[in-house]
């Protein structure tokens, strides 16, 4: 956790320096990249601050120990369904959304509807009735 916190703090400092240099370089006339770079630096600092706040709630990770081994990372990371078709449909819906942005708004709306359908199906994939998990 400490390494991740330091990593995001370093990235925030880097993006802040890049934003300042970019502002000076463009003489403050470019109003898309300048706020985006400052926002990117702010997001990195927010993640570093969040990791610092939750550090006390979680036990020390393997990456925080000097003698930690890679094998200590092993374990269950989640429950995944290798037979699920919902992600494929969601990818197709995302492609339709991008196509709709390029062509016309009605295709975009169809893609959003398909995306909502596939996201809902993926979320409730393991639900077999009311309140079952």
Give residue-wise pLDDT tens across range 4-61: 899 999 999 999 999 999 999 999 898 899 999 999 999 999 999 998 888 777 666 6
Rg for the chain (alpha carbons), in Å? 22
Dihedral angle, C-alpha 22, 25, 29, 30, nearest 10 °: -40
For the chain, give every domain's residue range: 2-64, 86-123
Would you state the pLDDT for residue 69? 76
Q: Which residues of 70-81 are buried (b: 16+ CB within 10 A; e: fewer)?
A: eeeeeeeeeeee
pLDDT band, residue 132 (cuts 50/70/90)? low
What's the DSSP call for residue 56? T
């Amino acid at each position: 956790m400490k390494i991740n916190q330091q990593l995001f703090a370093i990235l925030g400092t880097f993006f802040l320096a890049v934003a300042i240099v970019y502002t000076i370089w463009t003489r403050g006339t470019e109003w898309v990249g300048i706020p985006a770079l400052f926002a990117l630096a702010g997001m990195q600092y927010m993640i570093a601050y969040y990791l610092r706040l939750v550090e006390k709630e979680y036990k020390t990770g393997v990456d925080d120990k000097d003698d930690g081994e890679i094998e200590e990372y092993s374990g269950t990371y989640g429950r995944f369904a290798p037979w699920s078709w919902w992600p494929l449909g969601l990818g197709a819906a995302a492609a339709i959304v991008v196509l709709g942005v390029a062509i016309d708004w009605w295709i975009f709306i169809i893609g959003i509807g398909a995306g909502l359908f596939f996201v809902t199906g993926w979320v409730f994939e393991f639900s077999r009735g009311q309140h079952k998990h």
